[in-house]
Amino acid sequence: MNDRTIWEKMMQVDRRVIYLIVAIVMIVPIIFPFDLPIKISKRTTLKLFNAIEKFPEQRSVFFISADLNPQDQPELYPMLVSWIRHCFHRKIKVLVMCLYPTSLGLAEQALNQVSTEFNNRASQGIGRRIVYGEDYVFLGYKPPPIVPILGLGENIFDVFPRDFYGNELKDYSTLPMMENIKNYRDMDMIGSIAANTLPVTYIAYAQARYGIAVTGGVTAVSVADFYPYLDSGQLTGMLEGMKGAAEYEGLIRETFPEEDGRRLATEGMSAQSTTHLAIILMVVLGNVCFFMQRRHESRRG
Amino acid sequence: MNIAMDFWTWTAALLTLAILSFLWKDNPTYRAAEHLYIGVANGYSVTLIWYNVVVPNMIDPIAGAYRQVAREGMNWSVLNPFQEANFFVIIPMMVGALYITRFIPKISWMVRIPIGLTLGYYTAISIPASFEASILRQLEASIVTRAHMTMGFRPALWVFLVLIGTLSTLIYFFFSTEHRGILKPISNFGILVVMIGFGASFGLTVMARISLAIGRFVFLFKDWLGLVY
């Protein structure tokens, strides 16, 4: 047992030591945050931001399919909040739908959070008030995914006779923005926030058939699956995990100086960087230990 | 330090700690939190599906049609599927109920009817859509055109790399001919491209998992313990 080399000992280190190291390098920057420059990705984040910036004010509609679950919340929730903030700043109407039941609570929370932020600022004389039915409508949940995706291309009132709160969608006195929205032709873009391949489903069923622009907000683990659709122009930009969300938060803060809402993704970016650095060092160290041990064994015969 | 006083923040924080305790070793606290999560998630989903799917799509139309018949007497309009209140929904409801026959051995063959209908619908609807979105448009995107050459050196280089990468990977997965001669270096390049793809996916997976952990730690240290301002 005592014959073990330092390399061998390091390769057999208890996994809990690794967890502890990762926890420390993650927690320290959270408690003592420091700013690191966040480079904006041109072909993903900036492309999407610029596309939304080009929407005409007042009459544009951004349709968000908010299909995030509690387990994806740290990555996807900041994206949803950022998109809603951006649309409200630009006076773009927002329609939100969920294709999974567990997404409802998070989608409603994001809408309430951002509208409260705007209304609090408006009460101090900064910016404008956000009114449900005029600036946004929460459609609620409708399964199974392909059926509402196709149905919305024909007639939104058939798919959602009522909104999430039970208001008749055709009751234009309560939901005046719905007067000019009948199907995808009246919307400018679909934004699909999901931890699975739902953005591709929107490309296949909504874009291919009805020609509407589609963008995605996806978890980092699934980003690689969407690059081909980005290169082919089927996706108009994309947000890639927590980093993409932090980039978008930065762009909004830069463009709209009055925006003072909490930047959830940016808060985690310094921890993200230190943890990545630690993991890279551990991967390098693991490889060094492996090769040194092999060299030691070959010398010993 | 500005510790949270909200009951639900404390509940979420203690459950997070219970789940994280698995990193040390399996324990009853972790098991309890895991079972609680599964129970709550299922209960939540079932309730939402009941009120958002079953009630508006099945119970409301039948109840409406029943009230209409009671009020006006039987007429053909209650069989009109395009009317909000109708008895027509009983047909798809009965087809759906055939899934339960799986548990009755003598008539279990009847489960093939709803499965067949579902498969038929989704196959018919997804083949043209997937072909258009994932094959035709992707093929189009991998074609090098004169327009790509006018976009500058870097875009042109990327387009060529995509083309070479696609062709070499396809050749690597072409098993009808032995990879000898010119095919050998091309398929070797193909496996290199595949490996780079796997490496990128692994890196992104690490990034995703770290993001989830950061989300929990931000919650614990900022929202619960109030250690961050």
When the pLDDT of each residue in chain A is averaged and rounded to a whole number, the result is 93
Domain that holds residue A292: 6-31+275-300
Q: Give yes or no for residue A1 having a pLDDT over 80.
A: no
pLDDT at B229: 61
Q: Determine, yes or no, domain membership for B123.
A: no
Pick B45's closest partner by Cβ from A72, A102, A275: A102
- Give the rounded percent of residues in chain A with a pLDDT score beyond 70: 99
What does the pLDDT look like over A41-64, one tens digit per residue?
A: 999 999 999 999 999 988 899 999
- Whether residues A12 and A144 share a domain: the answer is no
Q: Do B52 and A74 touch (CB under 8 A)?
A: no
pLDDT tens for chain B, residues 1 to 229: 789 999 999 999 999 999 999 999 999 999 999 999 999 989 998 998 898 889 988 999 999 999 999 999 888 888 888 888 899 999 999 999 999 999 999 999 999 999 999 999 999 999 999 898 989 998 888 888 888 788 888 888 888 898 999 999 999 988 888 888 889 999 999 999 999 999 999 999 999 999 999 999 999 999 999 987 6
Q: Give yes or no for residue A204 having a pLDDT over 60.
A: yes
- Whether residues A86 and A213 share a domain: the answer is yes
Q: Do A271 and B217 touch (CB under 8 A)?
A: yes
Neighbour tally for B134: CB within 10 Å:
18
Q: Give yes or no for residue A36 having a pLDDT over 90.
A: no
CATH of the domain at A159: 3.40.50
Q: Do B141 and A228 touch (CB under 8 A)?
A: yes
Pick B44's closest partner by Cβ from A102, A207, A220: A102
Q: What is the mean pLDDT of residues A134-142?
A: 94
What does the pLDDT look like over A60-112, one tens digit per residue?
A: 999 999 999 988 999 999 999 999 999 999 999 999 999 998 899 999 999 99
Q: Flag whether the ipTM exceeds 0.90.
A: no
User: Which of B210, B216, B217, B221 to substitute to test the interface with A, most A CBs within 10 Å?
Assistant: B210
Q: Determine, yes or no, domain membership for A13.
A: yes
Q: Please choose, from the candidates A68, A299, A31, the residue with its C-alpha nearest in 3D space to the C-alpha of residue A198.
A: A68
- Whether residues A280 and A243 share a domain: the answer is no
Q: What is the mean pLDDT of residues A192-197?
A: 94
pLDDT at B83: 86
User: Does any CB of chain B come closer than 8 Å to the CB of residue A140?
Assistant: yes
User: Does any CB of chain B come closer than 8 Å to the CB of residue A194?
Assistant: no
Chain A 74-93, CB below 8 Å of chain B: which residues? Answer: 74-75
- Whether residues B149 and B81 share a domain: the answer is no
- Whether residues A144 and A231 share a domain: the answer is yes
| Residue that is last in its domain, among B88, B104, B124 | B88
Q: Do A241 and B207 touch (CB under 8 A)?
A: yes
Domain that holds residue B73: 1-88
Say whether the peptide bond before residue A101 is cis (omega within 30 degrees of 0). no
Q: Do B162 and A231 touch (CB under 8 A)?
A: yes
Chain B 108-167, CB below 8 Å of chain A: which residues? Answer: 122, 125-126, 129-130, 132-134, 137-138, 140-141, 162
- Number of domain units in chain B: 2
Q: Determine, yes or no, domain membership for B158.
A: yes
- CA A29 vs. chain centroid, Å, equals 22
Q: Give yes or no for residue A2 having a pLDDT over 80.
A: no
Q: What is the mean pLDDT of residues A157-171?
A: 92
Q: Under a CB-based contact definition with an 8 Å cutoff, are residues A116 and A143 in contact?
A: no
CB contacts < 8 A, A to B, total 133
- Number of domain units in chain A: 2
The model's pTM: 0.88
For chain A, give the DSSP string: -TT--HHHHHHT--HHHHHHHHHHHHHHHHHS------PPPIIIIIHHHHHHHTSPTTT-EEEEEEE--GGGHHHHHHHHHHHHHHHHHTT-EEEEEESSGGGHHHHHHHHHHHHHHHHHHHHTTSS----BTTTEEEEEE--STHHHHHHHHH-HHHH-SB-TTS-BTT-TTT-GGGGG-SSGGG-SEEEEEESSSHHHHHIIIIIHHH--EEEEEE-GGGHHHHHHHHHTTSEEEEEEHHHHHHHHHHHHHHH-TT-----HHHHTHHHHHHHHHHHHHHHHHHHHHHHHHHHHHHHH-
- Whether residues A258 and A286 share a domain: the answer is no
Q: What is the mean pLDDT of residues A215-243?
A: 93
